[in-house]
Chains A and B, each alone.
Chain A
Amino acid sequence: MSGTAPGTVPGGPTPDRTGRRTGSGFGRLLVTVYGILAFAAIGRSSYELATKFTEAPVAYSLSTLSAVVYVLATVALAKGGPRWRVVAWVTVGFEAVGVLAVGAASVTSPDVFGETTVWSGFGQGYGYVPLVLPFVGLWWLWRTRPRGTRDAAPTTPEPTEPTGPLGPAAPDPEVR
């Protein structure tokens, strides 16, 4: 990809063409939780691969796959450029499908996997974080999507950071 994105006026104002940063504001927290889950998944899968892979190859391969996907999603959300945004959509979407599919399969026919995975029981072993996270991620990607290409007609003011309950002019209560 090079040059101006389709639909934008060359030289004209290109407001928010790349969208809001996926790794800022609330995204900072999202990336953190993704990162922690990525570490947990890496730890789990390397332990399983190193000590007992042959016991349940399907489950442990799945653990490794999910670890790779979590790492990719974390990096993509943290970087947040146009291309990384695509990677984020794919990996986060994959997780949403994965946790639902593996979760459902682990409930209906537990024998398929032989052992539990990150996604077994819809992420039960991780406080259902693996179930909630991809949908929060998809919502966040949608919210921070690039604007100005299709729905450029009404120039909605850029949402500003909400000021605190005291208002913007309130002095810092803890000035030292």
Chain B
Amino acid sequence: MVLPLLIVVLLACAVLAGWALWFVVQDRAVVLRQLFGAAVVEALVVVQAVVAGVLMATQDHPVDGPLFWGYVATALVVLPVAAIWAFAERTKWSSVVLAVAALTVGFLVWRLWQIWGAA
């Protein structure tokens, strides 16, 4: 993993969560544009995972592999599932769900960073 990319991913998660929370305040449900936002966050996480994989393969970076990839898998699953689940609800709870999912992905990516540096 690389630090600039980590910051970008965490910022993207924060922006998505903030956007969703703003909708909660306004008592609005998730809109399609927010799902595109979620897709961007998801893509950034994928990029980070690919970068980590390449670094592992080329630099022999000592990492607890199963633990790391377990977290990657969880981080990648949460947002798409939550986005579909949120979009099916047409109340403000839809936006709460998206905010929680975005914050969860941010937390998982932060844990990935810790696992990456721990070994």
Binding site for B on A (CB under 8 A): 24-29, 31-33, 35-36, 39-40, 43, 46-47, 50-51, 161, 164, 173-174
Minimal beta-carbon separation of B69 from chain A (angstroms): 10
Q: Which residue of A lies closest to B82 (CB)?
A: A32
Q: Which one of B3-11, B40-48, B54-62, B86-94 is at the interface?
A: B86-94
The reply to whether the CB of B63 lies closer than 8 angstroms to some CB of chain A is: no
- Contact between B91 and A161 (Cβ–Cβ < 8 Å)? yes
Given known pairs A35-B81, A39-B77, A43-B73, the reply for A29 and B66 (CB within 8 Å) is: no
Q: Secondary structure at chain A's binding surface: helix, strand, loop or mixed?
A: helix
A164 to B94, CA, bound (A): 16
Residue tally, chain B, CB below 8 Å to A: 24
Minimal beta-carbon separation of B119 from chain A (angstroms): 14
Q: Which residue of B lies closest to A24 (CB)?
A: B89
- Contact between A32 and B67 (Cβ–Cβ < 8 Å)? no
- Contact between A29 and B70 (Cβ–Cβ < 8 Å)? no
Q: Which residue of A lies closest to B91 (CB)?
A: A25
Binding site for A on B (CB under 8 A): 26-28, 66-67, 70-71, 73-74, 77-78, 81-82, 85-86, 89, 91, 93-94, 96-97, 100-101, 104
A161 to B82, CA, bound (A): 23
Given known pairs A28-B85, A43-B71, A164-B27, the reply for A33 and B100 (CB within 8 Å) is: yes
